[in-house]
Amino acid sequence: MSHTPRTPQGASFWDKNKNLLLRVVLCLLLATATVLTVWYSARMPATITPDNDDADQTQSNDPLPTPDEQLPTDQPWTSTRLHVDTDGAGISLDAFLASCPTFDAKDAVIVTGEYEPSTVLKRITLPESITTSASLSTRPAQQITREWRAESWGTTFETVVTETTQDRPAVETVSGYLVRDRGDGTYDLLDTTGSVVFSSLSFDAVTPTSMSDDAGNPLFLENGGYTVLIDGTRIAYDTKGVNMANRSTCLGTTGDAGNENIRIYEANGRYGYQTNDGARLTDAIYTRAFAFSEGLALAMDETALYVLDTTGQCLYTAPYTVSSDLEGSASLLLPDTEGLESLGFFYFDHGLMRIRQRISYTPQEGYYYNNYYVFDADVLLDAYGNVTEMPNGYELVSYHDGIRILRHSQTGAVGLADHLGQWITPPAFQDATPCVQGLTPVKYNDKWGVVDQNGQFVMPATFDLPPTILGGVIAAYSSQSGWMAFALTQS
């Protein structure tokens, strides 16, 4: 079948790439004729203007707004939601806990979808044996950095993966359950009543994951494959061609492909799409095929990615590579890892998909073309390949549930914006972890809390570790009160 993409009228090459091309021109103006260098696109701080509601404020040239200042006014990066919810952030831990009713599975249903104003946060009763320590052990981790290196015919960069360790939180969430570290290489799995489902499981033999099946049951790495926990029993999960689509969900390449009555099928080791009654929408030509979301699906072969609609028509295609491919000429990069840190890749969320984009340029031959210009940053792509860039001075560090986490490239300050590009909070946070179920853990005044899609704190900034959220269950730690767990419920 044809992979000729349909492009919306008026979306010319200039319209889609003008900002990036302008940066290339800027770098050429800055280039010297003798120095072998990689140049980064300079992003100037946005100007700050007074809030219309606060006429006594004066204009500031500070590159980052304080909670009392308005955000950049360049369209479309404007919003009336300009302030940190300091009242919600400042609630004491004791007051917050007093406001949380006790979770009772008999009269409450756990919410596994996006947080809504009607969602009630209830406290799960944990066993008295829960440790008061933040961590009891370490676990393997990978530190991924991009190192730039000079070579005789230009400058390139490579991704360096360093094996390291990190502290393992003593309590974590896994799709509706809690993992309690025993500190000896084993853990207990607790349900939302605080009861032990499994005791003394080896982290190495039965490894918890952040993934679930399409029914929300947690998956574990076990015996070289996956098992899924259903009704208190771990059973083998069909791991053939598993694709991890970074929605806290593990999607098999065969089976249901979303809510569009479309299934993924396999033939000769390749994958394609068909309707539930067997009508073929595409040939089995893809090495990876992801589930539909919002009427769109991403598929790949060895060299290119394809955006498909529910008729099997290709809307957009482009070559891709990986960041470790030093000679790759493709402009789209796959993520280095496929965990929660890479949420937003491989599927569409509010019409946008996160992708890493590289543009490189070498001046023409005869003009000291050893100068090699590289731009490399996460962007948001629509179904036709149109790029939504980030505001000047900010980089996209996460996108999920329609929430962009933006970090200032010089100061490191973090703010949240929605899928339309409207600021939800000013960049006044020290850090943030990916949005899950519409909730984003943020670090404010050296403490962690959780904000909703409107930037309102649903858990105050009073915790010492970023809360973990999966499957309607939240685990949080405070040195004042130790470990706590909460359920997102709909009474």
Strands 440-444 and 447-451: antiparallel
What is residue 313's predicted lDDT score, i.e. its pLDDT?
A: 96
What is residue 45's predicted lDDT score, i.e. its pLDDT?
A: 28
What is residue 360's predicted lDDT score, i.e. its pLDDT?
A: 57
Q: Is 35 exposed, middle or buried (0-12, 13-18, 19+ CB in 10 A)?
A: exposed
What is residue 391's predicted lDDT score, i.e. its pLDDT?
A: 85
- What type of residue is 134? A
Domain residue extents for the chain: 13-490
**Structure-token match 């320590």, residue found:** 133
Q: Is 90 exposed, middle or buried (0-12, 13-18, 19+ CB in 10 A)?
A: middle
What is residue 53's predicted lDDT score, i.e. its pLDDT?
A: 36
What is residue 6's predicted lDDT score, i.e. its pLDDT?
A: 52
Conformation bin of residue 294: beta by default, left when phi > 0, alpha when psi is -120 to 50? left
pLDDT in tens, the chain (491 residues): 656 555 444 445 445 555 554 454 444 433 333 232 222 222 222 222 223 333 333 333 333 333 333 344 343 344 445 689 999 999 999 999 999 999 998 878 899 889 999 999 999 999 999 999 999 999 988 776 656 555 434 445 555 678 899 999 999 999 899 999 999 999 999 999 999 999 999 999 999 988 787 778 888 989 888 899 999 999 998 755 444 443 333 333 333 445 568 888 888 888 899 998 899 999 999 988 888 888 999 998 988 989 999 999 999 998 876 555 544 445 676 665 555 666 778 888 999 998 887 655 555 554 444 444 455 678 899 999 998 878 888 989 899 889 999 999 889 999 999 999 889 999 999 999 999 999 999 999 999 999 999 999 999 999 999 999 999 999 999 999 999 999 999 86
What are the CA-CA distances from residue 185 to residues 188, 207, 273, 343, 344 (Å)? 11, 11, 42, 28, 32
What is residue 375's predicted lDDT score, i.e. its pLDDT?
A: 52
What is residue 321's predicted lDDT score, i.e. its pLDDT?
A: 66
